[in-house]
């Protein structure tokens, strides 16, 4: 198979949603249809020992939530699918934001009862920033929820996106009968007692066909006919190109927990979802078809397998072919590296791969060589853009609870913050460590992982801060004068860059007004601003 054929048969996407919309459940069912797993796990069950495949960290199993992005690859109808299941909880949003740099499209879940929720809005904004195509899956149709037409109106209004339903539900909740596939002109009937991985679709090209009345009853059949008539009149014909350019979002309805509507979603997805796309670097645009290999690290995970203390860098391949045991250039370090055991993922299960292609996500065993955003090439000097760190929302001092384990604590903090779960700042005046996160739960996760993975203990002490700002100034002397003047409010990040720790919105505003030549940035990557 040629590289072009390999590229054409790949689809790399992420699943995004507000917590409890059913995201991890949908992931499980997609894996079931792909034949990657045989039985679905239970996200929140103390009685069932098998947990969801994508939630592999101990704290995820305890809480029943995803706190780290999981990468899974599987084949479906000759298509290689790379699926990234992202955390829904807002406290882990930064991991999700970075993951979205590695995908070519997303599936966004909406709970039919709750509609658009706060985290949905934030995630959609990130997709909009990157012009990422979005498929909407409205979930939990077997439960009582909002009217489908009202849901569509709410999504369009709240998220400011244009929709085009490609399937339509027949009733909702206790009277939910099934889904009519507008794209394939077929009907799938719902039976709450059946949870098989294959569904029986009945082809109904003409809704006037009397077979429809026999299958779902005359009243429901007439309602469906009326609904479809309204949809066809109110929405333009679905255009794949407009979807690929993130101008319109197709909509599907179903019930992930019952495997219902998932096959329709998957079948349509492999047909319409974009092939691997290129990425921008600081020197040029890299296309998947380019001959030479390039890729970037978008995620690092320490202790994926706590028994082996391994550290894995997740690499998105952008162009060319990656080959095992071949030398590649680590652009930031300026040295060549080769990898004897690159891996492909099925959650925590890993398989060594000999080659990989654009769109693929591979894991590289890493002894602290990589940082998020690092680029690998076959020698060309370039850096992929658009993988920033965001200014944290919450800050706490790190207090060593066991001085005899200081070395382990420092190593743990270094490696965990390399993953991007939090940011570490060192105060300029007293060298105290300040941990910054986007959510309170991150502190608990870090504390838990320091204890279980590094045998280190720490406590956190409150510090009142508003923002951590990176700075730039064309006049270096003015920047140095500001850093000297604000020494008590200055820190350095892990890269040694100066960071202004503003105690309040007023303090930041005053600093900006008194220093008009200095630019204050809320993301670490600010060359383009």
Domains of the chain with CATH codes: 3-66+106-272 (3.40.50.300), 279-377 (3.40.50.300), 394-521 (3.30.70.3280)
Mean pLDDT of 196-208: 65
372-424 confidence digits (pLDDT tens): 889 999 999 999 886 666 778 889 999 999 999 999 999 999 888 877 778 89
Q: How confident is the model at residue 285 (pLDDT cuts 50, 70, 90)?
A: very high
Mean pLDDT of 60-64: 45
pLDDT above 60 (res 308): no
Q: Average pLDDT over the chain, rounded to whole?
A: 83
Mean pLDDT of 470-475: 92
123 versus 112: which is more confidently predicted? Answer: 112
Query: In terms of C-beta density within 10 A (0-12 exposed, 13-18 middle, 19 or more buried), how is residue 223 classed?
Result: middle
369 versus 278: which is more confidently predicted? Answer: 278
The closest alpha carbon to 156, from 129, 186, 116, 189, belongs to: 116
Give the strands of the sheet with 394-400, arranged side by side: 458-462, 394-400, 433-437, 423-427, 490-492, 498-502, 467-472, 519-521
pLDDT above 90 (res 502): yes
pLDDT of residue 111: 92
pLDDT of residue 65: 38
b vs e for 33-70, b when ≥16 Cβ sit within 10 Å of the residue's Cβ? Answer: bbebbeebbbbeeeeeeebbbbbbbebbeebbbbbbbb
**Distance between start and end Cα atoms, the chain:** 42
pLDDT of residue 67: 37
d(CA 425, CA 466): 14
Mean pLDDT of 266-284: 92
355 versus 442: which is more confidently predicted? Answer: 355
How far from 482 is each of 136, 279, 516, 526, CA to CA, in Å?
48, 36, 11, 19
pTM metric for this prediction: 0.77
Secondary structure class of 65 (helix, strand, coil): coil
4-18, 153-167, 227-241, 434-448: lowest mean pLDDT where?
434-448
Task: Count Cα atoms within 13 angstroms, Cβ side, for 498.
Answer: 21
In order, the DSSP letters of 229-252 are HHHHHHSPPP-HHHHHTTS-EEEE
């Amino acid at each position: 198979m040629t590289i072009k054929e390999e590229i054409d048969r790949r689809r790399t996407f992420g699943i995004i949603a507000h917590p409890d919309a059913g995201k991890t459940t949908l992931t499980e069912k997609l894996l079931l249809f792909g034949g990657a797993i045989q039985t679905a796990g239970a996200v929140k069950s103390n009685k069932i020992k098998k947990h969801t495949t994508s939630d592999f960290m101990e704290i995820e199993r305890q809480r029943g939530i995803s706190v780290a992005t999981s990468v899974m690859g599987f084949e479906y109808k000759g298509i290689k699918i790379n699926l990234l299941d992202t955390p829904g909880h807002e406290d882990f949003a930064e991991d999700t934001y970075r993951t979205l740099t590695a995908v070519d499209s997303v599936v966004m879940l909406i709970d039919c009862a709750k509609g658009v929720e706060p985290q949905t809005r934030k995630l959609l904004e990130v997709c909009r920033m990157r012009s990422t195509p979005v498929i909407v899956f409205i979930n939990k149709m077997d439960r009582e929820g909002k009217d489908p037409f009202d849901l569509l109106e709410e999504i369009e209004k709240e998220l400011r996106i244009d929709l085009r339903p490609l399937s339509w539900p027949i009733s909702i909740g206790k009277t939910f009968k099934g889904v009519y596939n507008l794209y394939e002109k077929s009907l799938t009937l719902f039976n709450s007692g059946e949870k098989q991985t294959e569904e029986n679709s009945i082809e109904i090209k003409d809704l006037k066909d009397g077979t429809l009345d026999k299958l779902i009853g005359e009243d429901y059949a007439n309602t469906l006919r009326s609904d479809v008539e309204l949809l066809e009149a109110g929405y333009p014909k679905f255009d794949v190109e407009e979807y690929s350019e993130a101008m319109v979002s197709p909509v599907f309805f179903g019930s992930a927990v019952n495997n219902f509507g998932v096959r329709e979603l998957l079948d349509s997805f492999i047909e319409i979802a974009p092939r691997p796309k290129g990425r921008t670097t600081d020197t040029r645009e890299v296309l998947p078809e380019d001959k030479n290999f390039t890729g970037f690290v978008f995620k690092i995970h320490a202790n994926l397998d706590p028994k082996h203390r391994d550290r894995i860098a997740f690499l998105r391949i952008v162009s060319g072919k990656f080959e095992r045991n071949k030398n590649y250039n680590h652009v930031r370090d300026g040295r060549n590296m080769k990898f004897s055991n690159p891996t492909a993922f099925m959650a925590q299960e890993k398989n060594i791969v000999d080659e990989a292609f654009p769109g693929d996500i591979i894991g590289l065993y890493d002894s602290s060589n990589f940082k998020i955003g690092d680029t690998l090439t076959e020698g060309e000097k370039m850096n992929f853009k658009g993988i920033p760190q965001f200014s944290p929302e919450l800050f706490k001092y790190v207090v060593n609870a066991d001085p005899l384990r200081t070395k382990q604590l420092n190593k743990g903090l270094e490696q965990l913050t390399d993953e991007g779960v939090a940011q570490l700042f060192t105060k300029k005046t007293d060298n105290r460590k300040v941990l910054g996160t986007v959510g309170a739960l991150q502190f608990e996760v870090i504390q838990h992982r320091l204890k279980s993975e590094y045998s280190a203990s720490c406590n956190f002490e409150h510090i009142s801060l508003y923002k951590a700002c990176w700075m730039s100034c064309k006049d270096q002397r003015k920047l140095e004068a500001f850093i000297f003047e604000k020494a008590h409010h200055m820190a350095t990040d892990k890269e040694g860059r100066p960071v202004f720790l503003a105690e309040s919105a007023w303090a930041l505003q005053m600093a900006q007004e008194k220093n008009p030549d200095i630019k204050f940035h809320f993301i670490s990557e600010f060359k383009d601003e």
